[in-house]
Amino acid sequence: MLTAFVRAFRTPDLRNKLLFTLFILVIFRLGSAVPLPGIDSAEIRQCMENATASGGGVYQLVNLFSGGSLLQLAIFALGIMPYITASIILNLLTVVIPRLETLRKEGQSGQARITQYTRYLTIGLAVLQSTTILAMAQSGQMFQNFCSPSLFMPNQDILTLITMVFTLVGGTAVIMWFGELITDRGIGNGMSLLIFTQIVAVFPSEMIRIWQEQDRWVFAVIVAAGIVMVAAVVFVEQAQRRIPVQYAKRMVGRRMFGGTSTYIPLKVNQAGVIPVIFASSLLYLPTLAVGLLGEDSTNPVVRFLMTYFDPTQIHPVYMATYFVLIVGFAFFYVAITFNPADVADNMKKYGGFIPGIRPGRPTAEYLDFVLSRITTAGALYLGVIALLPMVALGTAGASANFPFGGTSILIMVGVGLDMVKRIESQLQQRNYEGFLR
Amino acid sequence: MGTVGGRMGEWFRRLIGRPGTVDLGPYRRLLGQVGDREPTVRELPDEELTASVTELRADESVAGADRFPTDKLVEFSALAREAARRALDERPFDVQLLGMMAMLSGNVIEMATGEGKTLVGALTSAGYAIRGRRVHIASVNDYLARRDAEWMRPVYDLLGVSVGWIGQDSTADERRAAYACDVCYGAVSELGFDVLRDRLAYEESELVVPEPDVLIVDEADSVLVDEARVPLVLAGAIEQSAADPALAELVKGLGRGVHYEIEEDARAAHLTNAGIDRVEAALGGIDLYGVEHMATLTAVNLALYAHALVERDVDYIVRDGRIQLIDDNRGRVATLQRWPDGLHAAVEAKEGLVTSESGEVLDTTTIQALVRRYPTVCGMTGTAVAVAEQLREFYELEVAVVPPNVPCIRKDEPDRLYVTRDDKEDALVAHISSVHGEGRPILIGTLDVAESERLARRLRRAGLECSVLNAKNDAEEAAIIAEAGREGAITVSTQMAGRGTDIRLGGRDAQDHDRVAEIGGLYVIGTGRYSSSRLDDQLRGRAGRQGDPGGSVFFTSFEDDVIVRHASDTAVPSADPKTGRIEDAGGKWSMNHAQRVAEGELLELHRNTWRYNKLVEVQRSTVLEYRNKVLHSDLADKELAERCSERHAELLGEVGAEVLAAAARQIVLYHLDQRWSEHFALLTELREGIHLRALGRRNPLDEFNRDAVPPFLNLLAEVREQAAETFRSVTITPEGVDLAASGLKRPTATWTYLVRDDQFDEGERFMSTMKRAMRRPK
């Protein structure tokens, strides 16, 4: 991986792309640290420390994606979430609204229109989200009443609030632009890289916190465990089962190739990080419900939820539910994204077949057979990765957004691997000098 | 753009860098000066005119300069205009000089049909030539290349610039002579194939193509965009591999829908379960999908493809007992083209013809790679703005719009849309008959050869005499076109007449021009939308040239290919029950939508050809660099002397240094070409199945780039190794090396392949069908 970067830096246009990407990311991080107008940054930092020390809130996951800038009420507080949400919504709408579907079919020009709609929707969502966040901050809900809003928001008149909303929405637009700039002129997918940056950004402060609060050897164990986990994730993420495919539609003269290059790669973790994100979002619902119902311990529902589903306590029931949800979502996701019948049908259309197996139904059945087995392994792996840190480190006193949390590692490794692949691919298109001699 | 608002709009579009907005203002200002020079120049006798140009050519500020100095440009424009006036009796209009100046700065110009693009191209190439540049003019086809070269020759003669042309039947010597001229006309595919053939040369003296310099692309959108999708493939003959006629018979007995199915887009056919059972039984109960029967299965698939999807008189015609392909884009016969990978043999078996030689792919190139060889590129077409963004993306070319000399007054009627093809054709014939009654000449553009003939038969049955222009009678092309503008003429044509042809009102010599203009001029009827609106516009552009009156209309139906293939899920709107005509706006929207989908798919194809070719191009240039070194120096000799010094010393004594060096060169080049051809086949195979990687969340392009590298790394080392091995064993006499005796046969004949789009884009199509499911909500 490092050699790839070194070689990339020796290639002038690749170096420029990398530096450009880095430049955008630095500006992005700077903006994540600049507080909104009308916010007392020293006070809000204090509030945040109080809040995180006493356990997660509803916005923990969201905060993770914003690199900690959400709770700081920075100008980039909303992060990339509005854009991601907007693209998900538009993707879903494409299925529902025929007009969008027809646009998508028109290729590039249609796709450009859809991108434009996504941008508008992002701005809309940003307005909605910024007002919600400001309302929560103003009412003190954001920090679960650990500190008074008047401390960090000394000025609460309508003009200041409007300025804040404008700044937040503007920040979102700028982030969106950053993402597109990276995709166009830099390297890698801009959106994924921005998420990556935000997750990595909380790393140092979290490490320092553990260093300060825990024993030295606990710190050492955590670091070692983290490295082992990253290595394991890298390993499994690359793992795939290759199902050979042959195309019998051309006579290629005298030569016959082994056909080793043509295969369907079935990844062990075909679903990626999404099941984990879905499961954790779902598990925040009980906490949210408790927040809405009030922490009235006489209410049996509240008592039940607080006993079993308090994210700070990590009850075995909580863990079991989490695990089951992840495994379930993994199967669900693979089922909706990889339809063996469709794949078999498409292969049949274009003259491809798996050697020894008839096209059509038999092929679909074979694919299904392999897929269900490999997904079982993948789903269990996802569950374990997500749960391990909770079991091992939850007891050691690290919070849920601890840097080696399952979600963060999966995203980090995913984006990192993707990045390396892209750089290598670009290198291979250019660096042929070395091969000539 | 006459209004202030229009000008402001144009200025603003240029400011934000919209394509198609190159500023012509600076050139427009020069036109006055050119006009002032005109009386002086007109006085010059022919010899002095030529001498003035030669003088300009010798001027140091002109020769070799990046740009024309302004005063010299004015001088040249005046001389060029005068030369054209004298040679052709056509005084170039101001707008034509404007177009010439824009092209001399390396832009693509858009000029309406009939505005005299050919002349503009000729003057531009003369402009480059007197600056000491060597110009190639890429035409769409051989006919136009030859016509333009011959037509413009007097102008070139007056300007003292030499001109030549190449066609698909030109010999190597004729080609060399043509390329040696200042200006050389040729079909773009010919230019490309010459480059490819040069890559097979064993001696410097076999080379044909000179160093590329300036390329002027005629019909730039067609060449740079439409044709760029189809790679130019050069193949060499290898031994016969006939397709089994028994299989062709077997396949003929299969029923569509029962034993095999055809995809909606008519690009693929496959056996159903019943079909597989039947074929397996007929072949003696084998398991068709077993690994050991791969070759049989391939043969069956090819036979099926030939039977179900390759249609006689649409995709090919049979002439003199041979299959001749029809080029989709041009509607012409492509004599030197064949289908690749056994399909040709399968079609021959289907027609019961004698199987000709089959070939193996030696090398390919793309139009992009070809065009990028030239340091300077410019072009002209009637429809450039629509593809301006692509020209910028793929070729870094800008588009300048040259206004027409006389505004176009052609009336373009809205489409007439019908439910079924029969409704459409009934209405079509009725309409033709009524327009014919007024005496107006009619040009009917059909989509393929079969349709043109069917329609001609129908018209004749209805008592309407018509001439037919299609791939089958392309020899009479010039005569048919010359008469197409005559009063009462009806001409049924394929795409052939869609581009480049100039139909003058009043027939040959335009004697009846005014009378035909009075009754409304040429009336163009399209029998269906093409896959791109540009092609529609080109067809319409046949009418209304140079301010003549004219009209155009398209008859379309919901059974047309463009709808069936690209918008098959649209509901047919309500129609007039008697005539089947659809007036509903939604129906028209569907038609436009289907065309946009088709355009989008074609663009995607183009982009993919380009993307996947990038890496291949890098590898190829590495190989070519080595090849050129070997060809132009004694590198091969040195390398072999180093590797097998004993054998080398021994041979040196026997045959002498010169023969030995030539032999060494031939041996190395043989193995280099062989290995590259093998490597290329491997890349093709890799490319074919690479889309499956997307199922594992991998980017197919990245995967392709990665997997294509390892097999290449040892290529040159292996070539040297193999060459050394041959060198040790081969017989070298004072007459030279006899490679054939050692079983190393150099391909005898070469021909070119017409690679159907779907050969390469199936992966992409597969991807797009899978994409909806694969889109990740992240």
Q: What is the pLDDT of residues B500-536, one digit of tens each?
A: 677 888 877 777 788 888 888 889 999 988 888 888 8
Q: Which of residues 697-756 of B touch A (CB under 8 A)?
A: 697-699, 701-702, 705-709, 712-713, 716
Q: Is B696 in contact with A274 (Cβ distance < 8 A)?
A: no
The answer to whether position B608 is within a domain reads: no
pLDDT tens track for B370-397 = 998 999 999 999 888 888 888 988 898 9
What chain B residue is nearest to A249 in terms of C-alpha separation? B298
Test A106 with B600 for CB contact under 8 angstroms: yes
Total-model pTM: 0.77
Residues of A in contact with B615 (CB under 8 A): 428-429
pLDDT, mean of residues B218-231? 83
Q: Using CB atoms, pick whichever of B770, B773, B777 lies closest to residue A88.
A: B777
Average pLDDT, chain B: 83
Mutate to test the interface with A, among B251, B692, B771 (most CBs of A within 10 A): B692
One domain for residues A108 and A193: yes
Do A371 and A355 fall into the same domain?
yes
CB contact under 8 Å between B770 and A355, yes or no, is no
Examine residue B614 and state whether it is found in any structural domain, yes or no: no
B245 with B230, same domain: the answer is no
- Indicate the helix (H) or strand (E) that contains B360: strand B358-365
Binding residues of B: 96, 114-118, 502
The C-alpha of A230 sits at a distance from chain B's nearest C-alpha, in angstroms, of 20
Structural domain harbouring A279 = 203-431
Could you tell me if B263 and B151 lie in one domain?
no
Residues of chain A contacting residue B702, judged by C-beta atoms under 8 Å apart: 421-422, 424-425
Euclidean distance between CA atoms B135 and B126, whole angstroms? 8
Contact A428 B615 (CB under 8 A): yes
CB contact under 8 A, A105 and B770: no
- B642 belongs to a structural domain: yes
Written as one letter, the residue type at A166 is F
Q: Nearest residue of A to residue B243 by CA position? A: A251
The CATH number assigned to the domain holding B173 equals 3.40.50.300
- One domain, residues A168 and A85: yes
**Same-domain status, B249 and B352:** yes
Specify whether B351 is located in the same domain as B388.
no
Interchain pair B289, A358: CB under 8 A: yes
Query: What whole-number distance in Å separates Cα of residue B221 and Cα of residue B385?
Result: 9
Q: What chain B residue is nearest to A99 in terms of C-alpha separation?
A: B593
Average pLDDT score over residue span B88-96: 89
The pLDDT assigned to A63 comes to 60
The stretch B728-749 carries a mean pLDDT of 74
Q: Is the pLDDT of residue B134 over 60?
A: yes
Q: Supply φ then ψ for residue B529, to 5 degrees.
A: -70, 145
Q: Are residues A180 and A301 in the same domain?
A: no
Q: What is the pLDDT of residue B84?
A: 92
For residues B99 and B126, give the distance between their C-alpha atoms in angstroms, rounded to a whole number.
14
* Domain match, A303 and A411 both: yes
A75 lies in some domain: yes
pLDDT at B761: 44
Q: Which residues of B touch A357 (CB under 8 A)?
A: 289
B678 CB within 8 Å of a chain A CB? yes
Backbone angles phi, psi at B233, to 5 degrees: -115, 130
Do A189 and A219 share a domain, yes or no?
A: no
Q: Which among A201, A228, A262 is the end of a domain? A: A201
B604 vs A264: CB contact, 8 Å cut-off? no
Hey, is the C-beta of B360 within 8 angstroms of any chain A C-beta? yes
**Contact across the interface for B692 and A105, Cβ inside 8 Å:** no
Domain boundary among A163, A181, A201: A201
CA atoms within 13 A of residue B21's CA, in its CB half-sphere: 15
Instruction: Return the bridge partners of B316, or none.
Output: B312, B325
Phi, psi of A147 (to 5 degrees): -145, 160
Instruction: State the DSSP string of B46-61.
Output: HHHHHHHHHHHHH-TT
Q: Would you say residue B770 lies in a domain?
A: no
Say which of B290, B709, B770 has its CB closest to residue A428: B709
Is position A74 within any domain?
yes
The answer to whether residues B765 and B608 touch, using CB atoms and an 8 Å cutoff, is no
Tens of pLDDT, residue by residue over B282-302, are: 888 888 888 788 788 888 888
* Same-domain pairing of B388 and B417: no
Q: What is the DSSP letter of B211?
A: P
B372 at interface of A, judged by CB pairs closer than 8 A: no
Confidence of residue B181 (pLDDT cuts 50, 70, 90): very high
Residues of chain A in contact with residue B707, where contact means CB-CB under 8 angstroms, are 261
How close A183 comes to chain B (CA, Å)? Answer: 15
Q: Would you state the pLDDT for residue B772?
A: 38
CB contact under 8 A, A342 and B702: no
CB contact under 8 A, A240 and B273: no
Residues B536 and B422 in one domain: yes
Residues A189 and A269 occupy one common structural domain: no
Detail the residues of B annotated as belonging to a binding site for ATP. 96, 114-118, 502
User: Do the domain assignments include residue A52?
Assistant: yes
Rounded CA-CA distance B5/A433 in Å is 54
Residues of B numbered 56-85 whose beta carbons fall under 8 angstroms of chain A's beta carbons: which are they?
Answer: none
| Same domain (yes/no): A298, A426 | yes
A436 within domain boundaries: no
Structure tokens at B88: 């052709």
Angle between helices A406-430 and B700-708 (to 10 degrees): 50
B720 and B735 both lie in a single domain: yes
To the nearest whole Å, the CA of B358 is away from the closest chain A CA by: 8
Provide the number of structural domains found in chain A: 2
Distance between terminal CA atoms of chain A?
24
B277 touches chain A (CB under 8 A): no
> B529 CB contacts (<8 Å, ≥6 apart)?
B415, B536, B554, B556, B560, B562, B591, B594, B595
CB pairs under 8 A between A and B: 192
Q: Structure tokens of A84?
A: 């991601």
Judge whether residue B157 has pLDDT over 60. yes
Residue A36: CATH number of its domain:
1.10.3370.10
Number of neighbouring beta carbons within 10 Å of residue B676: 21
> Looking at the domain assignment, is residue B110 inside a domain?
yes
Residue A351, in any domain of the structure: yes
* Residue B778: per-residue pLDDT: 30
Give whole-number Cα distances, B497 to A424, B326, B383, in Å: 49, 15, 16
pLDDT in tens, B432-478: 999 998 889 999 988 888 888 889 999 999 888 888 888 777 667 77
Cβ contact B697–A267 (<8 Å): yes
What CATH number is given to the structural domain containing B307? 3.90.1440.10
Q: Are residues B181 and B88 in the same domain?
A: yes
Provide the shortest C-alpha distance from residue A102 to chain B (in Å): 8
> pLDDT-based confidence at B161, cuts 50/70/90?
very high
Which residues, listed in sequence order, are joined to residue A247 by a DSSP beta bridge? A352
B372 and B479, same domain (yes or no) = no
Query: Where does the pLDDT of residue B123 fall: very low under 50, low under 70, confident under 90, or very high at 90 and above?
Result: very high
Domain with B560, as residue range(s), is 411-598
Q: Do B686 and A262 touch (CB under 8 A)?
A: yes
Give me the residue from A245, A257, A422 closest to B682, CB to CB: A257
Q: Are residues B132 and B27 in the same domain?
A: yes
pLDDT for residue B160 is more than 60: yes
Residue B327 resides in a domain:
no
Residues of A within 8 A of B696 (CB-CB) are 240, 264-267, 270
Q: Lowest mean pLDDT: which of B228-242, B292-306, B557-571?
A: B228-242
Q: Does the distance separating the beta carbons of B693 and A265 come in below 8 Å?
A: yes
Segment among A252-261, B466-475, B538-547, B583-592 with least mean pLDDT: A252-261
Strand partners, B323: B318
Across the interface, which of B342, B697, B706 has its CB nearest the CB of A250? B342
- Residue B503 contacts by C-beta under 8 Å, 6 or more apart in sequence? B441, B443, B481, B484, B485, B497, B522, B542, B543, B545
User: CA A310, A314, A315, A321: dihedral to nearest 10 degrees?
Assistant: 90
Asked whether the beta carbons of residue A248 and residue B600 sit closer than 8 angstroms, the reply is no
Task: Flag if A91 and B360 touch (Cβ within 8 Å).
Answer: no
* Interchain CB distance below 8 Å, A265 and B263: no
Q: How many domains does chain B have?
A: 4
The C-alpha atoms of residue A55 and residue A48 are separated, in whole angstroms, by 11
Give yes or no: residues A192 and A315 share one domain. Answer: no
- The reply to whether A195 and A208 lie within a common domain is no
Query: In terms of DSSP H, where are the helices of A66-202?
Result: 81-96, 98-105, 108-139, 149-152, 158-185, 190-201
pLDDT tens digits, one per residue of B7-38: 666 666 666 666 667 888 888 888 989 999 88
The answer, for B614 touching chain A at a CB cutoff of 8 Å, is yes
Average confidence (pLDDT) over B296-311: 86
Distances (CA, A) of A80 to A178, A191, A391, B773: 10, 7, 30, 24
CA A432 to mean position of chain CA atoms: 35
Query: Is residue A168 domain-shared with residue A256, that is, in the same domain?
Result: no
- Residues on chain A touching B625 (C-beta within 8 angstroms): 436
Q: Quick one: which of B45, B128, B124 has its CA closest to B82?
A: B45
Asked if A266 lies within 8 A of B769 by C-beta distance, the reply is no
Q: Which of B341, B690, B705 to mutate to test the interface with A (most CBs of A within 10 A)?
A: B705
Percent of chain B at pLDDT exceeding 90: 17
Amino acid B731: pLDDT: 81
Of A201, A224, A259, the last residue of a domain is A201
Higher pLDDT, B596 or B736: B596
One domain, residues B254 and B379: no
Confidence at residue A311, expressed as pLDDT on a 0 to 100 scale = 64
B583 with B719, same domain: the answer is no
pLDDT confidence bin for B765, thresholds 50/70/90: very low
Establish if A248 belongs to a structural domain. yes
pLDDT at B223 over 70: yes
Tell me if B753 is assigned to some domain.
no
Is the CB of residue B171 less than 8 Å away from at least one CB of chain A?
A: no
Distance CA B201, CA B207 (A): 6
Q: How far is B774 from chain A (nearest CA, A)?
A: 5
List chain A residues with pLDDT less than 50: 55-58, 253-258, 398-401, 432-437
How close does chain A come to B760, measured CA to CA in Å? 11
Cα separation, B94 vs B602, in Å, equals 36
A95 in the same domain as A12: yes
Cβ of B90 under 8 Å from any chain A Cβ?
A: no
How close A262 gets to chain B, by Cα (Å)?
5
